[in-house]
Structure formats: structure tokens, C-alpha cells
Amino acid sequence: MANLYYDLNDYFYESNDFPIDDYKQVRNSRNFTGKVVLTTGSSSGIGEGIVKLFSVLGASVVVTGLNATEITRVAEECQELSPNKLKPLEIVADLTKTDDVNRLLNETIKTFGKLDVLVNNAGVLKLSPLRDPNFMHVFDQTISINLRAYLELSQLAVPYLDKTNGTIISTSSIASSLP
């Protein structure tokens, strides 16, 4: 699979403010016209920045998350940022549910006919002390979204990515190094 690395730190601000001018500056740096990009957790935070960046670069994008209102907001902004005003695919999906993971990929392929880039970005940070009776439940939820969902979606996507010489990008946070 081809590799893609792009430093998104310059395009993500703690305030979740994504200045349009910053996106326009990168428009000519890479061309993703005709490419299909699925970014999990793209209805807010870093995922929102990633999906907006790929929109600016001309890709057809999938905006997904748990909140339909936020998904629509981000999708509308992506369409405005897209050089060809491409309408993103909007999918509400809970990545802890196998049926939702399958539906997410199937709807992407049904709509666009292919997948070029999978960005595994969705994640949670839930902390619970060992003494908490809900510790294992919180742990299971965290592993389910931060690890299992990445692997499950990646495994399902590989046959489609092989056809396009596509790539998988997986994000993580500094929380992985916290004690």
C-alpha cells in the first residue's frame, strides 16, 4: 500500500477553529481529486480537521461519528471547502458495534465504488480508578473503540484498499503514554 503522511498539527487548533485560509494554503500541496477518504470520528476534533483537509485537497470524503447534527455541520463545511463542492457522505455509526462498522464500509463502497484512504481516528479517553466498580466496563469501552474498532475496520477495508493501492492512517493521542 502507498504511504501518506501529512502533519495535521498546523491545521488543528485547541479551540476547534479551522481557519479557511489555512486550508486554502495547502490546496496545491497534494491532489486527491478522484480519491475516496473515510475518516472515523470526523464529526469533531482532529477528525474534523482531517476530513476538512482532504476535502480541500479534492477528495470525496465520508463524515462519520455518533452525533447526526455535528456530522451534517461538518459535511456542509467540507462541501464548501471542496474545490468542486463535492457532497460528503454522512453516516452515523457506533464503531463499537460490528453491524455499524460493516454498514459504514458498505455504504462507502456503495456510494463511491472504492476506498483509497482509511483514517482510523475515532477514540475516547475514559479514566477510571481501579477501585471503581465500573472499572472493567470503562476499560472494555475504551479498548473497543480505541483498538478493536481500528482493527476491525482496517481488516474489512484491506480488500478495497488493495484494489486502489490505498493506505490506512491510524491516529493516536498522547494519552497512550500516560500512566
Q: Is residue 80 part of a domain?
A: yes
User: How do the pLDDT tens digits run along the chain, 179 residues long?
Assistant: 333 333 344 434 344 555 556 655 655 567 899 999 999 999 999 999 999 999 999 999 999 999 999 999 999 999 999 999 999 999 999 999 999 999 999 999 999 999 999 999 988 878 788 999 999 998 888 888 888 999 999 999 999 999 999 999 999 876 656 65
Q: Is residue 179 part of a domain?
A: no
Provide the number of structural domains found in the chain.
1
Return the CA Rg of the chain. 16
Q: What is the CATH number of the domain that holds 128?
A: 3.40.50.720
**How high is the pLDDT of residue 179?**
58
Closest CA to 142 of 122, 157, 118: 122
Q: Is residue 3 part of a domain?
A: no
What grid cell was written down for 61? 470524503
Q: Is residue 71 part of a domain?
A: yes
Q: Is residue 145 part of a domain?
A: yes
CB of 40 closer than 8 Å to CB of 63: no
Identify residue 56 by its one-letter amino acid code: V
Between the CA of residue 124 and those of 118, 160, 173, 174, what are the distances in Å?
A: 19, 27, 10, 12
Helix (H) or strand (E) holding 18: none
Q: Model's pTM, two decimal places?
A: 0.82
Please count the CA atoms within 13 angstroms of the CA of 170 that sit on its side-chain side. Answer: 11
Which structural domain range is residue 63 located in?
A: 8-172
CB of 168 closer than 8 Å to CB of 147: no
Q: Is residue 142 part of a domain?
A: yes
Q: Is residue 1 part of a domain?
A: no
